[in-house]
Amino acid sequence: GAGVSQSPRYKVAKRGQDVALRCDPISGHVSLFWYQQALGQGPEFLTYFQNEAQLDKSGLPSDRFFAERPEGSVSTLKIQRTQQEDSAVYLCASSPSLDRDKYFGPGTRLTVT
Amino acid sequence: AQSVTQLGSHVSVSEGALVLLRCNYSSSVPPYLFWYVQYPNQGLQLLLKYTSAATLVKGINGFEAEFKKSETSFHLTKPSAHMSDAAEYFCAVSDRGNQFYFGTGTSLTVIP
């Protein structure tokens, strides 16, 4: 079946622009996670949803970052007034439940110029 | 708090040689431990995981890892490297909640 998909795969934004990154999880997966992977680093946790509820957003680096999953399926990570330090690959993962294996999408590479 | 240290950001092995990628963890609770592989421009793929059952865990593509509590280690091994094993490998620890803590990754190069 289809895996986790993310769009766009690549995004170039000028500093100060707003961006929206989309994640389509595997159908029926309750849990959804966003990670930020800076160049040469491991992924770092941003936020976690269970269905439409955002249960943990402790990893969001600033109030410019906002995530939503209004119908408990597709999720959008929005970054307002992008800064150069926001340049990274943003990974989405989904799982059938919190204690089950995570399935990762291919990521969105964001470059802020 | 949980954390992971991967020793060696780059490892090179000859095709057919033993692969050993090192991972040490720190955890205040009995951890779950994972190894993921990442090919260029792709997401992370789970290789294997330890969730407090057998300490020797076998994964996909011939990889295995052994949980050693006394050494706080979870090193990844494969007896014979194949060209297709060239990729980035990440070790991760979980407190069994929603958060994963990844290491900084080890890039594996396989020399023909």
Environment class of A27 (CB within 10 Å of its CB; exposed 0-12, middle 13-18, buried 19+) = exposed
Report chain B's terminal Cα–Cα distance, integer Å.
41
For chain A, give the percent of residues with pLDDT over 90: 88
Residue B36: list chain A partners with CB under 8 A. 104
**Chain B, nearest residue to A109 by Cα:** B41
Quick check: A75 and A91 in contact, CB under 8 A?
no
Residue with tokens 């090193």: B75
Nearest to residue A37, comparing CAs of A74, A92, A78? A92
d(CA B19, CA B8): 13
Mean pLDDT of chain B: 92
Quote the pLDDT of residue B109. 97
Side-chain half-sphere exposure of A51, counting CA atoms within 13 A = 1
| Contact between chains at B41 and A106 (C-beta distance less than 8 A) | yes
Q: Is A43 on the interface with B (CB under 8 A)?
A: yes
**Chain A, nearest residue to B10 by Cα:** A40
A2 vs chain B: nearest CA distance in angstroms? Answer: 14
d(CA B21, CA A111): 30
Residues of B with CB under 8 A from a CB of A: 4, 9, 36, 41-46, 49, 90, 92, 96-105
Nearest to residue A96, comparing CAs of A59, A51, A34, A57? A51
What's the order of all strands across the beta sheet hosting B3-7? B3-7, B19-26, B73-78, B64-68, B56-58
Is the pLDDT score of A1 beyond 70?
no
Q: Is A57 on the interface with B (CB under 8 A)?
A: no
Confidence category of residue B83, pLDDT binned at 50, 70, 90: very high
Mean pLDDT of chain A: 94
Question: Given phi > 0 = left and psi -120 to 50 = alpha, else beta, which region is B40?
Answer: beta
**Chain A, nearest residue to B41 by Cα:** A106
Confidence category of residue B19, pLDDT binned at 50, 70, 90: very high
Is the pLDDT score of A59 beyond 80?
yes
> Amino acid identity of B1?
A
Q: Is A112 on the interface with B (CB under 8 A)?
A: no
Q: Is A55 on the interface with B (CB under 8 A)?
A: yes
Quick check: A67 and A75 in contact, CB under 8 A?
yes
| Contact between chains at B104 and A31 (C-beta distance less than 8 A) | no
Quote the pLDDT of residue A2. 78
- Among B41, B96, B98, select the one facing A55 at the smallest CB separation: B98
State the DSSP string of A20-81. EEEEEPPTT--EEEEEEE-TTS--EEEEEEETTEEEE-TT--STTEEEE-TTSS-EEEEESS
Q: Between B40 and B35, name the one with better pLDDT.
A: B35
Q: Which of A70-79, A80-89, B36-45, B61-70 has the lowest mean pLDDT?
A: B36-45
Confidence category of residue B28, pLDDT binned at 50, 70, 90: confident
Mutation target among A37, A90, A108 for the B interface, most CBs of B within 10 A: A37
Confidence category of residue B49, pLDDT binned at 50, 70, 90: very high
Summarize the confidence of residues A18-40 as an average pLDDT.
95
Quote the pLDDT of residue A68. 97
Q: Is A21 on the interface with B (CB under 8 A)?
A: no
Summarize the confidence of residues A37-62 as an average pLDDT.
93
Report residue B60: phi and psi, to 5°: -80, 165
